[in-house]
Each structure stands twice: as C-alpha cells, then as structure tokens.
Amino acid sequence: MSEGGGAVDDQQEPSTRDRILAAAAAILGEDGATARLSVRAVAARAGVSVGSLRHHFPTQQDLRDEVMRRVLDWMMPRSSIGDRSVPPRERLVQCLLDVLDLSGTGAQAREAMTTMTSTFITAEQTASVREAYLAAQRDGQRRTEGWLRALAEECEIPADDIPRRARFLGTVLDGLSLERAMPAVDSLTQVESEVLFAAADVALAPVDRDG
C-alpha cells in the first residue's frame, strides 16, 4: 500500500525496446519467419516513432537477430555449460543435444525439415528470406561460440579458433538434424551420441604446441 492508502502497482510498463521486439515477434508469428519486418509497420504496431525504432535497431537485420535470439532463449533449456562438476565434453554434448532436440524425431523431425526446405530452399530468395536465414545461422553460431568460450580455460581452447570450431559443430548438427528426418536405424540415438561425443572431442582438443 502507498502512504495515502492507495494500492501500489508493482508492474512496470514494457520498455520501448521490448515493445518493438514484441511487435516484430507478433508480425513473424502471424506472417511466418520470413515475413518482411517493415520499419513503419513494426513501429506503428509498437506505438513508437520510426526514429525511436531506428535508435534501438539501426537495421532490419539487427531487429530480426534480436527477435530470433529471444525466441530461442525461450525455447532452449537452461544451459548447464558452467557446471564444473560435470566433465566439459559431457556438458558440451548436452548443449548440442538440446539444439538437436528442437527438431524432434520421426514425423516431427520430417515436418521440421519440410518446413525448413519450403521456407529457405524452395522459396523465392527474397531479402526477407535471406535475413531470416542469416538471423538463425548467426544465433546458432553465437550460442555455440558461447559454450566453447565457457569451456576455453578448462580445455585450453585458443580464443581465435573458437569461431572455426563452432562452425564445425554447427555443420555436425545440421547433418544429424537431416538424418533424424530420414528413415532411421533403430540405434539412431546411440549413433547420435557417438557422433556428438566425437565432435566434442575435436572441438575441445587443445592446440598441439609441439606439432
């Protein structure tokens, strides 16, 4: 209660940045991941000026990247990459499995791959399609680099080699995601585990300073 006896509203109004992101996310939710994020349309929906939107997000790609980051933050399980009670390779493999599991298995994986193909491969290659794909690609690279940075000291990973190692892990995940959509062998889970642990061993290998 306030001093005057009135109720105090503890809820704060969303920031301008959050309103812009919510508006952009709503447009993508209604019109698809590759929908064009028109500056005027997003600003109008958020109830802000075009100048204010440009202040927070100078380009449409900046806006799309941040929407993608927040959506995947919401979808992804909380990472345990910093839990040093678990061996580094096991922590990295679990993070990779969390990404892989977003596509599901069986029919769900096939549906996800069909959607990916129709959205980014067979669709007309417009600027919006390119922006949407690059946003997803950059977010995946950023997350994987973050995991490797968290393990860099423990595993003696050179900082300048982290982007290359992250791209390698991303390629492995792409291949396993595609395999999940195919008629799979009964032991697919075991195969995935073996591949991911092998990939983690490569990604976490220290530099051979004697070579």
pLDDT tens digits, one per residue of 34-45: 888 889 999 999
Distance CA 11, CA 18 (A): 14
pLDDT in tens, 172-211: 999 998 888 887 666 678 889 999 999 999 999 987 655 4
Chain centroid to CA 20: how far? 20
Distance CA 147, CA 209 (A): 23
pLDDT in tens, 86-122: 999 999 999 999 998 888 888 888 888 898 888 888 8
Pull the structure tokens for residue 163: 């982007």
Distance CA 145, CA 149 (A): 6
What is the predicted pLDDT for the residue at 86?
A: 94
Residue 205's region, left for phi above 0, alpha for psi from -120 to 50, else beta, is beta
pLDDT in tens, 10-25: 456 778 999 999 999 8
Alpha helix (H) residue ranges in the chain: 16-31, 39-46, 50-56, 60-75, 88-100, 106-120, 127-155, 162-181, 188-203
What is the predicted pLDDT for the residue at 208?
A: 66
Could you tell me the domains of the chain?
Answer: 16-73 (1.10.10), 78-203 (no CATH)
What's the whole-number mean pLDDT along residues 43-59?
A: 92
